Structure 1
Amino acid sequence: MLDTFPYNARMITDKEILVLYYSQHGATRQMAQFIARGTEQVAGVRARLRTVPKISAVCEATEPGVPEDGAPYVELRDLEECVGLALGSPCRFGNMASAMKYFWDGTSAMWLKHTLAGKPAALFTSGGTMHGGQESTLLSMMLPLLHHGMVIVGLPYSEPELATTQSGGTPYGASHVAGLANNHPISDAEKKLCLALGKRLATTALKLAI
């Protein structure tokens, strides 16, 4: 599925889930695509894939205004227009990547207007090793969303893969173990949990949007 998949033949009246991610080596981007597919298993919902630019300590270094490939950069209006949010980042020492944190640090105006209050959100992450901080990364990404008043949607143990996975998968959100060389493909269990999380988020969003 292409990152621009939301702009397809579906009716414009479909409600949209924003799937916002940052990915350096591609694993988090793949997870985002599976989660987007999961949201679109729910009738009346389509996914809007967006990413954030890299940031640099060198002030003169900037990213191009439009990414060379993949999803477009997120705009604040994407958050305003969505009925739900799936937020993903690689694991950086048990925390979200600085590029994603930088984006959320700039959303104070939305917080003041309560733009996201009452909307559901789900989290996903990818890390290099088992027990490499994926769960704390998911929890760290919840914090700004809770300050915005969002409703957090997790993965219940009614999803059988959550109890049988040999790699990623947590009740706090979808996760993936990419390997130190980022060469571990997303497992079948991880794919199913991404799809399940997207579907659960979309179903919740429709209920709350009524």
Structure 2
Amino acid sequence: MAVKLYIVYYSLHGHVERLAEEIKKGADSVEGVEATLWQASETLSDVVLGKMRAPPKSDVPIITPRELSEGDGFVFGFPARYGMMPAQFKAFLDATGGLWNKQQLAGKPAGLFFCTSSQGSGQEETALTAITQLVHHGMLFVPIGYTFGAGMFEMEELKGGSPYGSGTFDGEDHSRQPTKLELEQAFHQGKYTATITKKLASTK
């Protein structure tokens, strides 16, 4: 039976979703791992989304708390909101009380990825504040550390991401798209997290 890695994200302008797609490719490259993309529900109205110039949502299915319990490992992604996850993703996690009560996610690995508008907008702070959610569920935080190698030390081009997880910048007007290097880092995170998830699943 394949090990299930769930890539669960909330994306407003498409940047987080693009990283998620690359993370899935990396995870799928690990034999015996089946990666699945899931979206967290939108809480904003179509009117508000229109004013924010948000593109239409993709057809990636919306996950429910019950479905979350079926995964062997996770990679959670979202854009930053003042150094924290957005309300949409927090609302999803707030609905996992039933899983928390029975500690159904305890011992399962989970990584994080993110998007901010600029370098000083919380690439690491967003991950740090999100770790509290993992802790209360007893999940095992899986950072990428410096396993991405030389790409972690790139100084000649603007690059999102950190030892906490892959990342990108979208700019003030959201026009900047993930770069080749950022996508390579996301692929690496998917492969790395899938490998760890597979190892842990094999010990059950």
Counterpart secondary structure, 1:196 = helix
Q: 2:174 aligns with which of 167, 182, 196?
A: 182
Q: 1:144 corresponds to which letter in structure 2?
A: Q
Q: 2:134 aligns with which of 120, 123, 145?
A: 145
Deviation at 1:70, TM superposition (A): 2.7
Q: 1:175 corresponds to which letter in structure 2?
A: G
Measured in 1, the distance between the counterparts of 2:25 and 2:57 equals: 23
Deviation at 1:68, TM superposition (A): 5.9
1:203 aligns with 2:195: yes
Measured in 2, the distance between the counterparts of 1:188 and 1:56 equals: 31
Q: TM-score, normalised by structure 2?
A: 0.88
Change (3 A) 1:26 1:68: closer
Measured in 2, the distance between the counterparts of 1:154 and 1:29 equals: 19
The answer for the alignment partner of 2:26 in structure 1 is 38
Measured in 1, the distance between the counterparts of 2:191 and 2:57 equals: 29
Measured in 2, the distance between the counterparts of 1:40 and 1:56 equals: 32
Q: 1:174 corresponds to which letter in structure 2?
A: S
1:191 aligns with 2:183: yes
Measured in 2, the distance between the counterparts of 1:208 and 1:29 equals: 26
Q: Where in structure 1 are there 5+ consecutive unaligned residues? A: 1-12, 62-66
Q: Where in structure 2 are there 5+ consecutive unaligned residues? A: 49-55
Measured in 2, the distance between the counterparts of 1:68 and 1:194 equals: 21
The answer for the alignment partner of 2:51 in structure 1 is none
**Structure 1 runs, 4 residues or longer, greater than 4 Å off:** none
Measured in 1, the distance between the counterparts of 2:152 and 2:181 equals: 8
Measured in 2, the distance between the counterparts of 1:145 and 1:70 equals: 27
Deviation at 1:77, TM superposition (A): 3.0
Cα deviation digits, residues 81-118 of structure 1 (max 9, x gap): 11100000101111101000011111111011111111
Number of aligned residue pairs: 190
RMSD value over aligned CA atoms? 1.7
Measured in 2, the distance between the counterparts of 1:178 and 1:81 equals: 32
Percent identical across equivalent pairs?
34
Counterpart secondary structure, 1:19 = strand
Measured in 2, the distance between the counterparts of 1:107 and 1:75 equals: 9
Deviation at 1:69, TM superposition (A): 2.9
